[in-house]
Amino acid sequence: MCKGTCKLAIKFENRAEYLKWKRYVGGGSAWEFEISYPAIMYTNFEFHDSEDVEILCKRIVQLLEMGFNVHSANWSLDEKE
């Protein structure tokens, strides 16, 4: 059962930034991509507990340390049924 999601967006100013991301990070990920530059790629990550949130936060920091422009990270919790 999913407790929430994080919609992550990364902005690329040019093709070189995209190719760097593809080589080091984005091999088999399912990202939605806007084709023109500057381009923004989106994906949703599910989390189930605080450990998953911590892992996602570390991934975001790694992207920032690698020089990628993390455009946004929108977090949302699922409502209880």
Looking at residue 30, its pLDDT comes to 61
Q: What is the pLDDT of residues 12-58, one digit of tens each?
A: 888 888 888 888 876 666 666 666 788 888 888 899 999 999 999 99
Domain range for 34: 8-77
Residue 3 inside a domain? The answer is no
Which token pair is 69? Answer: 């422009």
Residue 35 inside a domain? The answer is yes
Q: What is the pTM for the complete model shown?
A: 0.77
Residue 40 inside a domain? The answer is yes
- In the chain, the number of structural domains is 1
Q: Which residue has the higher pLDDT, 24 or 59?
A: 59
Looking at residue 49, its pLDDT comes to 92
Please provide the size of the chain in residues.
81
Which token pair is 55? Answer: 């892992």
Q: Count of CB atoms within 10 A of residue 6's CB?
A: 20
Which token pair is 14? Answer: 């040019």
Looking at residue 21, its pLDDT comes to 82
Residue 1 inside a domain? The answer is no
Looking at residue 28, its pLDDT comes to 62
